[in-house]
């Protein structure tokens, strides 16, 4: 099954 | 001091209805640019970015940048008390712990003040880099909502694939499978009925339908939705808010292990 990605692994904190 | 007067108060009502189930609480930021919000859902799978530009308000006074933490269901509850034709004014004092929503009926015969307590929210602001998308699909927002709703009766995830044939939405579940293909259709009578596909290269990504369905609660805000896809990036589902700005939903894809 595909694993749900996480927004924070794409966009970094500023 | 902050005072923002929005003639088309229904826009704010619709904005809240579209995000209140996705995000529990959020900081609304106000600056010379406008009234904005960036927030993630509790599981950090989706992010919503809202901008209502200052020029879109009939009166926009924001003496200093201010961030107001609000519980969105409470804010939505208060805004539900405004009529659809009402003018809504958002008022707050610098350093205060409340925000006031003032509703004026169109003929000024009824004026209501609703004061709501603000809350301190530690939220993480994320930098969203400008990205080149492999494919951008523009389609009627009602059509997109219909597709998401229909597919979620069959399965939990949607594969969105863009090829030169068009855009395909697919799902599978216990009872079977479903595929919906939309072809580019730019020669319709009304521009808002067009499906326009800009493809640099084919792309195929898998997303949770639960979130897509939640995004489609923004359908009343815009006739057209724009879906921007790139492998290795969250999809962007954007609804433009008439003359004022946008609401963008970002959703992290499902990734094959």
The pLDDT assigned to B186 comes to 82
The helix/strand/coil state of B181 is strand
User: Whose structure tokens read 């499978």?
Assistant: B177
- The 10s digit of each residue's pLDDT in B146-189 is 999 999 999 999 999 999 989 999 999 999 999 999 999 988 88
CA distance A10 to chain B (A): 7
Best of A3, A5, A12, A14 to disrupt the B interface (most B CBs within 10 Å) is A5
| pLDDT tens-place string over residues B183-239 | 999 888 898 899 999 999 999 999 999 999 999 999 999 999 999 999 989 999 999
Whole-number average pLDDT of chain B:
96
> Which helix (H) or strand (E) covers residue B113, if one does?
strand B111-117
Residues of B in contact with A3 (CB under 8 A): 254-257
Regarding predicted confidence, which is higher, B165 or B17? B17
CA distance B47 to chain A (A): 7
Statement: residue B243 has pLDDT above 90: no
With contact defined as beta carbons under 8 Å apart, do B110 and B102 qualify? Answer: no
Burial of B32 from C-beta contacts in 10 A (0-12 / 13-18 / 19+): exposed
Judged by CB atoms within 8 Å, which residues 1-14 of A form the interface with B?
1-14
| Residue of B198, B219, B195 whose CA lies nearest to B146 | B219
DSSP helix/strand/coil, B59: strand
Q: Which of B96-100, B121-125, B233-237 has the lowest mean pLDDT?
A: B121-125
Phi, psi of B197 (to 5 degrees): -120, 120
> Residue A14: its chain B contacts at CB < 8 A?
125-127
Quick one: pLDDT at residue B156?
A: 97
pLDDT, position B187: 82
Confidence of residue B127 (pLDDT cuts 50, 70, 90): very high
Using DSSP's 3-state secondary structure scheme, residue A8 falls into helix
Predicted confidence band of residue B257 (pLDDT cuts 50, 70, 90): confident
Residue B254 has pLDDT above 80, yes or no: yes
| Mean pLDDT confidence for A1-14 | 92
| Chain A CB within 8 Å of residue B157 CB | yes
Taking only residues 75 to 94 of chain B, the set having a beta carbon closer than 8 angstroms to any beta carbon of chain A reads: none
Does residue B122 carry a pLDDT above 90?
no
Place B95 in a pLDDT band, splitting at 50, 70 and 90. Answer: confident
What is the ipTM for the molecules in this complex? 0.96
The pLDDT of B8-26, averaged and rounded, is 97
Percent of chain B clearing pLDDT 70 (strictly above): 100
């Amino acid at each position: 099954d595909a694993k749900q990605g996480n927004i924070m692994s794409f966009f970094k904190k500023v | 001091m902050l005072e923002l007067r929005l003639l088309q108060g229904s826009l704010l009502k619709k904005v809240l209805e579209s995000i209140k189930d996705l995000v529990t609480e959020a900081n609304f930021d106000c600056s010379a640019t406008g009234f904005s919000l960036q927030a993630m859902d509790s599981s950090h799978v989706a992010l919503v970015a809202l901008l209502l530009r200052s020029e879109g308000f009939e009166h926009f006074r924001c003496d200093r940048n201010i961030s107001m933490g609000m519980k969105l269901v409470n804010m939505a509850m208060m805004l539900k008390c405004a009529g659809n034709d009402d003018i809504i004014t958002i008022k707050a004092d610098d350093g205060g712990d409340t925000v006031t929503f003032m509703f004026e009926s169109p003929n000024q015969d009824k004026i209501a003040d609703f004061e709501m307590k603000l809350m301190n929210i530690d939220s993480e602001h994320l930098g969203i880099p400008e990205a080149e998308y492999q494919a951008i699909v523009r389609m009627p927002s009602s059509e997109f909502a219909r597709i998401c709703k229909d597919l979620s009766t069959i399965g939990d995830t949607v594969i969105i694939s863009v090829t030169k044939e068009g855009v395909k939405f697919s799902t599978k579940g216990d009872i079977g499978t479903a595929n919906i293909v939309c072809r580019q259709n730019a020669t319709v009578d009304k521009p808002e009925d067009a499906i326009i596909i800009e493809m640099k290269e084919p792309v195929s990504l898998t997303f949770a339908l639960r979130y897509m369905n939640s995004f489609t609660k923004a359908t009343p805000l815009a006739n057209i939705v724009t879906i921007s896809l790139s492998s290795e990036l969250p999809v962007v589902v954007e609804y433009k808010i008439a003359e004022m700005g946008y609401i963008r939903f970002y959703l992290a894809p499902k990734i094959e292990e």
